[in-house]
């Protein structure tokens, strides 16, 4: 990612300076004394970084904001370790970006933003394999959709992985099932529920990054296709040798997270054991046994992870149908995030719950900026 154009640099420099001041204020005064203005600065910085496509800084601020919100609500799932890590990471990133901006250091800026190049794609036919959900009540609901190309196009082969994500800011003190946000029309005129597992869409006028992330502009168009996948197996194929090559070649840096090096795969002939309770982190760790080895599925103990916990609890006997998800490596363990169970009657999004809602409640819960 190149340095921003000169007209945008003054505003970006002010944003980075305000962010540094907010972080230092938190570190000096402590969480208990954190002002509403400080919390708001962090959240505004997160939104601005996302708009400017500073994805690494935006993600870091998003997690720090999550933890700060949990602390403010006296949520027992608040993690001091997680909050300190991401807050410190945000401070280092903001200082590094500010220095690169002041020195017009293109290489340093590119290293810190780690934003891959992108290219325009005239048209893409895609089918959804799964969706991940992340929710912080009163702050935001985020969804990440894992897709596959249905046909080869513009140098991209059939079955190539593509990712599209969306974030919905939420108002404090308003309760609403996060899944309701998927029914909210986007600027391009579609609703995100067209990306639910098993559904096919055609996207025109978009851009695709080198690492397969799909970016939409206001001119982009997304339309549903009346097309069903009869055989999912080719789209769920996984090559462990390629994964090992990526793992061996990976050179971690001080800003890398475990999840940034990940693989998409499907588990088969699996069964789930009794979870380990990690009270310190307010987590449950479910062992998942397969013929190839053991994986770990980590869930929270709150309401948003209830659908996934319920699904895991029902798989205590060996399941022959595929379970699709994302794998990363953490503390010498294979940590698996389940997204979709391919049941006999079709794919099921295991992180989502069925919840009734009305349009008025949805509009009331959303925070428009």
287's tokens: 């062992």
Positive or negative, the CA dihedral 315, 317, 321, 327 is positive
**What is residue 363's predicted lDDT score, i.e. its pLDDT?**
66
**What is residue 86's predicted lDDT score, i.e. its pLDDT?**
86
Structure pTM? 0.81
C-beta separation of 227 from 200 below 8 A: yes
CA distance 143 to 168: 9
- DSSP label of 352: -
Place of tokens 């399941």: 319
- Residue 42: name the closest of 50, 246, 185, 323 by CA: 50
**What is residue 65's predicted lDDT score, i.e. its pLDDT?**
82
- DSSP label of 71: H
Quick one: which H or E segment has residue 225? strand 221-225
Domains by residue range for the chain, with CATH:
6-113 (no CATH), 118-229+357-365 (2.40.50), 233-349 (2.40.50)
**What is residue 368's predicted lDDT score, i.e. its pLDDT?**
55
**What is residue 257's predicted lDDT score, i.e. its pLDDT?**
73
**What is residue 35's predicted lDDT score, i.e. its pLDDT?**
66
Secondary structure class of 246 (helix, strand, coil): helix
C-beta separation of 203 from 216 below 8 A: yes
159's tokens: 């079955």
Other beta carbons within 10 angstroms of residue 122's beta carbon come to: 10
Secondary structure class of 317 (helix, strand, coil): coil
CA distance 84 to 167: 23
**What dihedral angle (degrees, nearest 10) is formed by the CA atoms of 120, 325, 76, 369?**
20
Per-residue pLDDT of the chain (369 residues; tens, 9 = 90+): 578 888 888 888 888 888 888 888 887 777 776 667 777 777 788 877 877 778 788 888 888 888 887 787 777 777 787 888 888 888 899 999 999 988 988 888 887 887 667 788 999 999 999 999 988 777 778 899 999 999 998 788 899 999 999 988 877 666 778 898 898 889 999 999 999 999 999 999 999 988 899 999 989 999 999 998 989 999 999 999 999 999 899 887 777 777 778 999 999 999 999 999 988 778 899 999 999 999 999 998 888 899 999 999 999 999 999 999 999 998 889 999 999 999 998 999 999 988 666 666 666 666 555
Looking at the DSSP bridge assignments, the partners of residue 297 are 286
- DSSP label of 276: E
Q: Which residues contact 263 (CB under 8 A, 6 or more apart)?
A: 238, 243, 246, 326, 327, 328
Secondary structure class of 344 (helix, strand, coil): coil
Q: Which residues contact 154 (CB under 8 A, 6 or more apart)?
A: 121, 122
313's tokens: 């609890």
CA distance 129 to 232: 9
**What is residue 54's predicted lDDT score, i.e. its pLDDT?**
81
Quick one: which H or E segment has residue 349? strand 346-349
């Amino acid at each position: 990612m190149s340095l921003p154009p000169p007209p945008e640099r003054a505003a970006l420099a002010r944003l980075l300076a305000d962010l540094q001041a907010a972080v230092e204020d938190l570190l000096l005064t402590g969480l208990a004394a954190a002002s509403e203005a400080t919390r708001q600065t962090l959240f505004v910085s997160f939104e601005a970084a996302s708009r400017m496509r500073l994805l690494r800084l935006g993600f870091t601020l998003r997690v720090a904001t999550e933890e700060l919100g949990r602390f403010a609500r006296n949520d027992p799932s608040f993690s001091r370790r997680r909050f300190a890590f991401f807050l410190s990471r945000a401070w280092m990133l903001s200082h590094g970006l500010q220095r690169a901006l002041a020195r017009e250091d293109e290489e340093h800026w590119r290293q810190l933003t780690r934003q891959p190049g992108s290219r325009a794609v005239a048209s893409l036919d895609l089918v959804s394999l799964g969706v991940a959900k992340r929710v912080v009540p009163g702050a935001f609901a985020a969804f990440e959709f894992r897709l596959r190309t249905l046909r080869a196009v513009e140098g991209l082969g059939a079955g190539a992985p593509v990712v599209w994500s969306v974030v919905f800011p939420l108002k404090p003190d308003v309760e609403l099932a996060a899944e309701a946000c998927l029914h909210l029309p986007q600027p391009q005129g579609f609703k995100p529920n067209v990306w639910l597992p098993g559904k096919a869409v055609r996207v025109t006028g978009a851009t695709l990054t080198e690492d397969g992330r799909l970016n939409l502009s206001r001119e982009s168009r997304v339309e549903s296709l009346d097309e069903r996948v009869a055989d999912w197996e080719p789209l769920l194929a996984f090559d462990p040798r390629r994964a090992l090559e990526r793992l061996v070649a990976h050179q971690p840096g001080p800003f890398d997270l475990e999840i940034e090096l990940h693989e998409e795969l499907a588990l088969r002939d699996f069964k789930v054991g009794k979870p380990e309770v990690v009270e310190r982190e307010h987590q449950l760790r479910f062992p998942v046994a397969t013929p190839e080895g053991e994986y770990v599925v980590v869930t929270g103990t709150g309401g948003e992870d209830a659908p996934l916990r319920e699904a895991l609890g029902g798989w205590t006997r060996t399941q022959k149908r595929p379970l699709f998800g994302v794998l990363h490596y953490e503390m010498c363990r294979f940590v698996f995030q389940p997204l979709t169970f391919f049941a006999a009657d079709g794919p099921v999004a295991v992180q989502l719950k069925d919840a009734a809602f009305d349009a008025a409640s949805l509009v009331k819960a959303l925070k428009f900026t």
